Amino acid sequence: MDTTMIIVAGIIGVALGLVIAKLMEKKNASKILANAKREAASVVKEAKAEGESIKKDKIFQAKEKFLELKAEHEKVIVAKDKKIAEIEKRTKDKEAQANSELSKNKKLTEELETKARDYEYRMEILEKKQAEVEKLHKSQVKQLEIISGLPAEEAKSQLIESLRADAKSDAMSYVQNTLEEAKLTAQQEAKKVIINTIQRIGTEEAVENCVSVFNLESDDIKGRIIGREGRNIRALESATGVEIIVDDTPEAIILSCFDAVRREIARLSLHKLVTDGRIHPARIEEVVQKTTKQIEEEIIEVGKRTIIDLGIHGLHPELIKMVGRMKYRSSYGQNLLQHSREVAKLCGVMAAELGLNPKLAKRAGLLHDIGKVPESETEMPHAILGMEWAEKYGEKPDVCNAIGAHHDEVEMKSLIAPIVQVCDAISGARPGARRQVLDSYIQRLKDLEDIAFGFNGVKKAYAIQAGRELRVIVESERVNDDKAAELSFEISQKIQTDMTYPGQVKVTVIRETRSVNIAK
């Protein structure tokens, strides 16, 4: 009984608990539902408010967009209206122009018609006058026949005979004048031949300044220097620009060139080739290139020794190189370096005697003729050119002025300038110092080479045979065989037009093609 009662009580308790839990859950659910409804209402309210706000913004944006599109549309319409107005204006202008042209054409047509009528009227008058002239001519011929008593054909033949006699007389006079002109031309040609003959006889001064003698141990070496069919001597002449004369002179070869640098390069190259024993075109070119570099180094060394001997310091390297090049230049037959050293020493002594700066005077005296150093001649006086170079390489104004004023090209602005001028005159005026004939001769040879360099494709140009031959080496890539012949003719015509010279100048154009590869 007790157990049953407990079970029943337990069941009843569980049932009551479930009922109470259900009631509690229902109450909580109603609360949650009420809260949810309130939140939903709040969310809906907020959503409606936000929607209204977005709606207002969208409407405002749409209005703004509409206004923008309307403004753009109005601009487009205005632009189109403006363009249409311009087109209408141009059309009206063209119409007005066309009307003007039409009126002009109408006027011209009327003028042409008037001129055509006038022309026809004049043609009629001319035809009438021509008929009258023919009648007059016939009547005059008849009158002349009556007066002369000869028919027209016989009178014509007599007139022809008379004209023939006059023509024969004029022809004889022309022949006589032609003969006299030929005699005069023959005299001129004879004078040219005589001058050319005189030129072939080299004076002592020219030999001393334009020729070097290369001594040989034996005459057997001459054959090796000439090479098979003369290829070695041709290669040496082409590489150095020096004429090599191999004659009957025992144990000697003559090197002839107006440029002392080329002559020295040829002499040293020959010495190396003869000493080495290997003489062929490739070896010749190699030795000439090395010798050229050696001469350039020697030029710098000569410049350095000169300024050290004279006590000159701080000279620009380019000016030192120019001083070295003076060794291979001459002025009126006088060596330019010796002349400049002499002038520098005289300037130093004279400046010291006058209480001036002897070092500055020596500097100006040494550099006064650097304008004569360049190989290519310019129209600028050498004093002005030297002054510009001195200014370019940082020399003092007194030195630059002394260089430019030593031949009175510029005004003297310091006491050193007259000292340099006087010392230059002292050095050049002493007996036997200069030979003007040789200097003009060298100038003519340089002018010959400069004419060749004025044409495209010319690589090297050498004046040889005392200026009677110009040897031109061209670039094979730029000048073909036909162009080489044409170039030779053009250079000869240029020389004939621009230069005055005795005798003839032979122009030889050399074109050579080489293909070089190296096997490793």
Higher pLDDT, 192 or 395: 395
pLDDT at position 226 is: 79
Q: What is the mean pLDDT of residues 190-202?
A: 41
pLDDT at position 196 is: 42
CB of 339 within 8 A of CB of 369?
Answer: yes
pLDDT higher than threshold 80 for residue 169: no
Average pLDDT value for the chain: 79
Q: How confident is the model at residue 171 (pLDDT cuts 50, 70, 90)?
A: low
pLDDT tens digits, residue range 456-486? 889 888 888 767 788 999 988 888 887 888 8
Strands 243-245 and 211-215: unpaired
pLDDT at position 12 is: 81
Q: How confident is the model at residue 49 (pLDDT cuts 50, 70, 90)?
A: confident
Q: What is the rounded CA–CA span in Å between residue 243 and residue 231? A: 14
Length of the chain: 520
Q: What is the mean pLDDT of residues 312-326?
A: 87
Higher pLDDT, 365 or 197: 365
Written in H, E and C, the secondary structure of 147-205 is: HHCCCHHHHHHHHHHHHHHHHHHHHHHHHHHHHHHHHHHHHHHHHHHHHHHHHHCCCHH
* 3-state secondary structure at position 255: strand
Identify the bridge partners of residue 252 per DSSP, sorted by sequence position. Answer: 215
Q: What is the rounded CA–CA span in Å between residue 441 and residue 294? A: 28
Higher pLDDT, 425 or 503: 425
pLDDT at position 145 is: 65
pLDDT higher than threshold 60 for residue 414: yes
CB of 428 within 8 A of CB of 334?
Answer: yes
Contacts of 428 (CB under 8 A, 6+ apart): 331, 332, 334, 339, 434
Token pair of 474, please? 């061209």
CB of 348 within 8 A of CB of 362?
Answer: yes
pLDDT at position 207 is: 35
pLDDT higher than threshold 50 for residue 325: yes
pLDDT tens digits, residue range 143-161? 766 766 666 666 667 667 6
At residue 468's C-alpha, the angle toward residues 465 and 470, to 5°, is: 85
